Chain A
Amino acid sequence: DSGVTQTPKHLITATGQRVTLRCSPRSGDLSVYWYQQSLDQGLQFLIHYYNGEERAKGNILERFSAQQFPDLHSELNLSSLELGDSALYFCASSSAGYGYTFGSGTRLTVV
């Protein structure tokens, strides 16, 4: 157990639907990062939050949004889902510096 908890582990949904992925960072970590891993794009950085504030944005679609709550957990909301959104979504957390710890991921399948 890495200490970063992601729920759910698996999610199957239909095109056009909306889903929420949840991440609880490791205790004491203020930063949360979201990554998408797909077969065609590889591992792509989506967004970074630090202590509730958005710090950096990567290749995140406008249909996707995220937030970090006062208790430091984070949610990634994906809407108007398309088949191409099927991927493994990782959350990672860190306290300072470079190194961070990944959660076990949420595997999203859009059918």
Chain B
Amino acid sequence: AQKITQTQPGMFVQEKEAVTLDCTYDTSDQSYGLFWYKQPSSGEMIFLIYQGSYDEQNATEGRYSLNFQKARKSANLVISASQLGDSAMYFCAMSSSGTYKYIFGTGTRLKVLA
């Protein structure tokens, strides 16, 4: 069965510092996608970054990068130069080829301190 594990329920980071949010996954599929979403207190789900299982390069989107280690089945999100507006809940998710439903982790609540 597929599973996403986020072991950090909450994290603090100082403004302008970098932070890594952990995500490990479990799947027997060869083709899959990994995603990170941000959910601010207003509730909407905001797409941040995507990594395909066959992508050799780590994905980057502005201040977000995904540290993909396939052998360790990890897909950690790195946020550089944290901003106060980054304070939110962050979800890691996985989808497999043939079924486009997402399996979500339990999320990590990030608080950026001024």
Contact = CB atoms under 8 A, between A and B. Distances in A.
Interface of A: 2, 31, 33, 35, 42-43, 45, 48, 56, 58, 88, 90, 92, 94, 97-105, 107
B106 interface: yes
Given A42-B106, A42-B107, A98 B101 contact: no
Contacts of A94: 100
Interface of B: 33, 35, 37, 42-47, 50, 52, 91, 93, 95, 99-104, 106-107
Contacts of A56: 99-101
A107 B44 CA distance: 11
A111 to B, nearest CB: 19
Given A98-B50, A99-B35, A104 B44 contact: yes
Given A33-B100, A58-B101, 7 more contacts: A33-B101, A35-B102, A92-B45, A98-B50, A99-B35, A102-B45, A105-B44
A62 B16 CA distance: 48
Contacts of A99: 33, 35, 47, 50
A90 B46 CA distance: 12
A7 to B, nearest CB: 14
B100 A31 contact: yes
A90 B33 contact: no
